[in-house]
Amino acid sequence: MAETLFQKIIARQIPAKIAYEDDQYIAIHDIGPQAPVHILVIPKRVIPTLNDVEEGDRELIGGMFGVAKRVMSELGHTDYRTVFNCGAGAQQTVFHLHLHVLAGRAFTWPPG
């Protein structure tokens, strides 16, 4: 399987504006933001889609929300939206699980 765009960012082969990083996660600013603040929280371990999450991944997935909360707090946002896209039909374009965290404007419902 070819390296994903996110693996290349994690390996510093491609530049990114990093908002947070630790040994399990990296959070970057989206290069095509859909809100004034648009962060992607990415586990460093590759899981292609939500459909590939296994029982043992619960802690890793839960930690993504902890990273989202931390980054949004650091950026001064308490109102934000979190989104996982799962599969091409849901507009997932990089098949390395990532959580979109959007803030800085009012959101409507239903989305998309």
pLDDT tens-digit series, residues 49-85: 999 999 999 999 999 999 999 999 999 999 999 999 9
Tell me whether residue 38 is one of the annotated catalytic residues: no
Residue in 38, 77, 96, 98 annotated catalytic:
98
pTM: 0.95
pLDDT tens-digit series, residues 3-15: 999 999 999 999 9
What CATH architecture is 5-103? 2-Layer Sandwich (3.30)
Q: Position 8: which residue type?
A: K
CA distances (Å), origin 74, targets 35, 66, 101: 17, 12, 13
**Segments making up each domain of the chain, as ranges:** 5-103
Report the alpha-carbon distance of residue 3 to residue 112 in Å, rounded.
Answer: 29
